[in-house]
Structure 1
Amino acid sequence: MRPQLLTWDVKGTLLRVRHSVGELYSSEAKLHGVRLDAKTLDRSYPAAFQMQDKLFPNYGQGQGLTSQQWWMDVVKKTFCLCGVRDEQVLSPLAESLYRQFCSAGNWEVFDDVKETLTHCKKLGINMAVISNFDRRLKHILANCNLQQYFQFVLTSEDVGIAKPDQRIFNAALELARVEPKQAVHIGDDVWMDYLAARAIGMESYLICRGQEEPSGAKGLLPKAHILHSLQQLCGLIK
């Protein structure tokens, strides 16, 4: 198997957040005079995120929000659910956390990533990113020394469409000028990555580190399409 284009999801596939959201929020909050337990913030964050995403899907695209405003509102909602409602505290706190997420110090590159990307690059395979992330992703990849591997980076904010919508995959194929059958997608989500890519005729694999099969995936994909390490991909792409 030698594809002409290899597309990658990022969060959970190439990178992971080094600390929990609660730990990051709690640490920054202390600098602004607010003391909250990380576990308390970890419990509040999912509800705040889901509330914001339901009201303003895909970072409020078409609803007058910027992704920065969107994320700052998530931060504020998280703290509000914990009883912190002082706007004079929340605004600078939210802005600081938004900037911090671009820092390489907040992200960890999985151990199997650089070897695999280098292998594919040496074979002359064009690579790109397809991610439900905002425009900060390009800076994050650059700060983590991964940007140089990719021909282009497509975020859902850039395209205005989020996975699993087929149009974001089609946009990548059009940019690379390849047919679906000439492309392979790698990601960690059964619905957003594996099945969404296959729905338009791409080959795809699911990265599933540390577990035999992801929950809810039984019967949806053959075991041969589950990668427990990206190094397995090196054996498939020769």
Structure 2
Amino acid sequence: MLRLRLVTWDVKDTLLRLREPVGLSYAAEARSHGVQLQPEALSRAFRAAYAAQSRRFPNYGRAEGLSSRQWWLEVAMETFRLSGVREDAVLALMAENLYRDYCNAHSWELLPGASETLSCCRRRGLRMGVVSNFDNRLESILLRCGLRHHFHFVLTSEAAGVAKPDPEIFRTALRLGGALPEQAAHVGDDYSRDYRAAREAGMHSFLLHGHGRSAGPEVPPGHVLPTLSHLLALIEKG
């Protein structure tokens, strides 16, 4: 049985996921301004804009003095530019609306078992925290989705100044959680950023491997979570 004191959690696609694909949300926003765009094309444009912005200004441009709000507004405007929208005033308004909408609970839904698993972990006396490559809206999103009260701390890459898979963000989490690496475990859905990075910081880790993806041969079966509800049994089994 693992002697855990702290469990840290990824958020997006681990505890929460978007209710609808980005392309659908962007297309709906465009329609409200009389602009007809195809969701599939918007999804491709978003991926391109996001990738380019991430390369140019990693971790929301924190090291370059950008705010995450500026960072995301530019991603949204570039998504629409790549889709053929040229009017600057409309671009700015649509970007602002989407930035605000993604902070609201209606844009997100809990993954199956998320609330129940978090509640069970709390009842067993585990300290919990969030370690997420997210911007400073995350506190508000967790609050509005009814999850914030589960966590002793919420550590975003924007606040930490370093992003997963850098193990330094996990070392910061360990300090915040008052735990040694061997007393802590991380739960996430990404092999590199969550599973392997936490282990490089000396922590235990579990990989949520739904969504039809393979966990890979380098992850022992005892470290794989088919659903979040499997976590407690694996912790107890050790």
Pick the aligned partner of 2:222 from 211, 221, 224: 224
Secondary structure in 1 aligned to 2:50? helix
**Superposition RMSD in Å:** 1.1
Q: Could you tell me whether the CA contact under 8 Å between 1:120 and 1:237 is conserved in 2?
A: no
The one-letter code of the counterpart of 2:228 is: L
> Counterpart in 2 of 1:63?
64
1:148-167 deviations in Å (ceiling 9; x for gaps): 00000000001110001111
Mapped to 2, the partners of 1:2 and 1:124 lie a distance apart of: 12
Contact 1:7–1:185, Cα closer than 8 Å, also in 2: yes
Structure 1 residue runs without a partner (length 5+): none
Look up the SS of the partner of 2:154 in the other structure.
strand
Q: Secondary structure at the match of 1:127?
A: strand
When normalised by structure 2's length, the TM-score is 0.96
**Secondary structure, counterpart of 1:206 in structure 2:** strand
The letter for the 2-side match of 1:237 is I
SS of residue paired to 1:236: helix
Partners of 2:228 and 2:134 lie apart in 1 by 21
Find runs of 4+ consecutive structure 1 residues off by over 6 angstroms.
Answer: none
Q: CA deviation at 1:209?
A: 1.7
Q: Distance in 2 between the 1:210 and 1:27 partners? A: 25
Are 1:213 and 1:226, in contact at CA under 8 Å, matched by a contact in 2?
Answer: no
Unaligned regions of 5+ residues in structure 2, if any?
none
The question of whether the paired residues in 2 share the 8 Å contact of 1:185 and 1:203 is answered with yes
2:166 aligned partner: 165
Shift of 1:221: 1.2
Q: Residues 128 and 177 of structure 2 are in contact (CA less than 8 Å); yes or no, is this contact kept in structure 1?
A: no
Q: Is 1:43 the equivalent of 2:44? A: yes
Mapped partners of 2:22, 2:211: distance in 1:
21
Q: CA deviation at 1:210?
A: 4.7
1:34 aligns with 2:51: no
Q: Could you say what secondary structure the match of 1:75 adopts?
A: helix
Q: Partner amino acid for 2:77?
A: K
Contact 1:205–1:225 (CA under 8 A) maintained in structure 2 = yes
Aligned equivalent of 2:177:
176
Offset from partner CA, 1:93-122 (integer Å, 9 cap, x none):
101100000111100101211111011000
**Which amino acid in the other structure matches residue 18 of structure 2?**
V
* TM-score (norm. length: structure 1): 0.96
| Secondary structure at the counterpart of residue 237 of structure 1 | helix
Q: Distance in 1 between matches of 2:86 and 2:130?
A: 37
Aligned residues: 235
Tell me the secondary structure at the aligned position of residue 164 of structure 2: coil
2:136 corresponds to: 135
Distance 1:234 1:188 in 2: 17
Q: Which aligned pairs between 1:1-238 and structure 2 lie closer than 5 A?
A: 1-211=2-212, 213-214=214-215, 218-238=216-236
Offset of residue 222 of structure 1: 1.1
Q: 8 Å contact 1:9–1:188 — kept in the other structure?
A: yes
Q: Secondary structure at the match of 1:41?
A: helix
Q: Distance in 2 between matches of 1:19 and 1:210?
A: 15
Which segment is superposed worse, 186-195 or 84-93?
84-93
In the alignment, residue 44 of structure 1 is paired with which amino acid?
A
Mapped contact 1:210–1:228 kept (Cα < 8 A): no
**Structure 1 CA distance for aligned equivalents of residues 86 and 69 of structure 2:** 19
Which amino acid letter does the alignment assign opposite residue 84 of structure 2? G
